[in-house]
Structure 1
Amino acid sequence: MERHEIEGFLAVADELHFGRAADRLLISPARISQTIQKLERRIGAPLFERTSRRVHLTPLGRQLRADIAEHHQAINDGFARAVAAARGVSGVLRLGIMGSYGQLMLDVLDLFNLRHADCEVQMREIVFGDPFRLLREGEVDVAVPWLPVDEPDLTVGPTVGTEQIILAVSSRHPFAERDSVDFEELADETLLRLPRGQAVPEYWIEAHVPQRTPSGRPIPQGATVSTWHELLSQVAAGRAMSFCSEHAKDFYPTPNVSYVPITEQPKVQWGLVWRTSDENHRIRAFAQAAVDAKAADVSAAEDAAPTGTAGRK
């Protein structure tokens, strides 16, 4: 098949309308109709069923589309990557950040900016009540949510950080005076919950707002919150308490909310996530900067660590 035949066939297969397919390819309807007719003669069977009102793929047409669409996209993607590599990394990378976590990624941002000064990083806020919406709507290129993420249309890249999960409680609650709280004690309290439904997958809720203590006791669930400020308002009013990331105590100090460690020291990871079909050279460059920044941090920590008793007298 010639390239124009492949593109013409796939356009009609997608649009199921010769006029719209022609507009998409910037050619005349007569031209695309001739292309399809010529292709059908070469194959020896119709690829489309045409009526005066509708166009449908025949079983043979559906099979041909399944066989060539993915390969055609791979060729286009490979060509786009080659062009991007030749031009260098430039343009705009839109980064979706949850809360204030972007301030804990300055090493990644600095390294990316140093390497790719012609690429501007723009930041948008994502919320835990709908963590993947901006990705799926094409509003951001890369998001930095809590892990795990297990979505068929999303790629999970490198982790960018790990921190402890702590408890946000009303400053009037007895826990506010404690040095730590045992996980089992939460069975006697009420915790805020994430919204259930398509926006927040069930596995994500279970990972970040467990329904039971380690021994299996149920944890009472309170009001549903979708944003950090909703969470703070509920906690400050004493209506419930909530798990949160450790950096909250530094970035969101308030006289009405106290942050208390959990004895078992559970942890949460943050990672880069992007829509698989949108992966491009800017995303790959940012992911590499995240990997390299983390490696540099590990190396610096190792260099600063005590070397034991060697050399001591």
Structure 2
Amino acid sequence: MEFRDIEIFLALAKELHFGRTAERLRITTARVSQSIRKAERRVGGPLFERNSRNVRITPLGEQLQQDLSAGYRQITDGIAKARAAAGAMSGTLALGTMGPMAQTIKPLLDAFQSTHPDVKLRHREVQPPEPLELLRSGDVDVALLWLPVHEPDLTVGPVVHVSDVLLLVSTDHPYAERESVCVEDLGDHCAFLPGRLPASMEAAFQPFHTPSGRPIARGPRPSTWHEVLGLVAAGQGVVGAARDAALFYSWPGLTFIPVRDMSPVRWALVWRTADESPLIRALSYVATHRSAET
């Protein structure tokens, strides 16, 4: 198998979705399918079972994944070290994350710093109600943002994190004692708290309509995440949040409830297309290759 085919196979073994694998590696789904068919012909058996609903890895595929992963890691680590030695990169890269979200990608950041020890990472806080502001102002070079991001001036890099969606409510809210809620529930009692952000990004956490078509009301427009927490604690609305928020924001008066029928949210590195730099490409390279092997 060629190196790129190994990379595609390992990425699909993790994602179990041809479209997400293609997006993650920035290739077409046809290229993913072609590569997997070629690999299956080479090994002499099916590596994945696929139908219109899902993709499953076969026992043969699991064995191949185990056998290839260690070698793939050695190869990519060697390439990264060689690139670091040849490039001797230095400078400062401003990274925007939402509060402690940097902790969720700490292994990636550690790997980047290990590969490029002379590069200084400068952290800035991105506010969820206005996630694109620091990118657009030039205050950060790259930001960790949830998808989808469909902005003509921005490039979406590799997906580096996936999180379930929880509903953040006050402890006095009628839903506070529930084990979970569904999106249809939100049409009855919940006023969401949108910020000034693209509608597609807002809908990832806060749909505009229930599955039956009922509108989901909007409430106040906070400008910072702490304003959001304060408004929710005061009972003035609810908000969808990443599961990670429950780890970092266990405030008195707040409760997190799973939303059982919302798809997990994917997080990716995003940067201004016109200002793509060698440092950004280096971070993206490390992220892409770490994602393929984990």
> What TM-score comes out, normalization by structure 2 length?
0.68
Deviations 1:111-156 (A, max 9, x none): 0011000001110011122222221222111011111111111111
Give the number of equivalent residue pairs.
211
| Alignment correspondent of 1:223 | 220
Match of 2:174 in 1: 174
Quote the offset at 1:191 in angstroms: 2.5
How many percent of aligned residue pairs carry the same amino acid?
Answer: 45
Q: Which runs of 5+ in 2 are unaligned?
A: 1-83
Deviations 1:198-246 (A, max 9, x none): xx22332233321111111111221112321111101111111110000
Specify the alignment match of 1:5 in structure 2. none
Gaps of 5+ in 1: 1-83, 298-313
Contact 1:112 1:286 in 2 (8 A): yes
Once the two structures are TM-superposed, the CA of residue 96 in structure 1 deviates from its matched residue by 0.6
Q: Structure 2 matches for 1:1-313, cutoff 5 A?
A: 87-196=87-196, 200-297=197-294
TM-aligned CA distance change 1:85 to 1:133, over 3 Å: farther
Cα distance change on mapping 1:295 and 1:266 into 2, 3 Å: same
The answer on whether the counterparts of 2:154 and 2:272 sit within 8 Å (CA) in structure 1 is yes
Distance in 1 of aligned mates of 2:233 and 2:202: 22
Q: 1:278 to 1:126 in 2, by over 3 A?
A: same
The letter for the 2-side match of 1:209 is Q
The structure whose Rg is larger is 1
CA contact (8 A) 1:183 1:262 kept: yes
TM-score (normalizing by structure 1): 0.64
Letter of the structure 2 residue corresponding to residue 178 of structure 1: R
Contact 1:153 1:276 in 2 (8 A): yes
| Contact kept in structure 2, 1:192 and 1:225, CA below 8 Å | no
SS at match of 2:268: strand
SS in structure 2 at match of 1:105: helix
CA contact (8 A) 1:167 1:262 kept: yes
Deviation digits for residues 72-117 of structure 1 (CA, Å, limit 9, x no counterpart):
xxxxxxxxxxxx9964211111101123210101110110011000
Residues of 2 paired with 1:100 and 1:173: CA distance? 26
The one-letter code sitting in structure 1 at the alignment partner of 2:163 is E
Give the counterpart letter for 1:186 in structure 2. L
Contact kept in structure 1, 2:131 and 2:145, CA below 8 Å: yes
CA RMSD of aligned residues (A): 1.7
Note closer, same or farther for the CA distance 1:193–1:174 as it changes in structure 2 (3 Å cut): closer
Contact 1:168 1:243 in 2 (8 A): yes
Aligned equivalents of 1:283, 1:236: Cα separation in 2? 38
Moved over 3 A (4+): 84-87
Aligned equivalents of 1:103, 1:119: Cα separation in 2: 19
Structure 1 CA distance for aligned equivalents of residues 270 and 85 of structure 2: 22
Q: Look up the equivalent residue of 2:97 and give its one-letter code.
A: I
How far off its partner does 1:158 sit? 0.4
Distance 2:272 2:248 in 1: 29
- Counterpart amino acid of residue 135 in structure 1: L
Contact 1:146–1:271 (Cα < 8 Å) also in 2: yes
Structure of greater relative contact order (alpha carbons < 8 Å, 6+ residues apart): 2
SS class of match (1:108):
helix
Work out whether residues 160 and 291 of structure 2, in 8 Å CA contact, stay in contact via their aligned partners in 1: yes
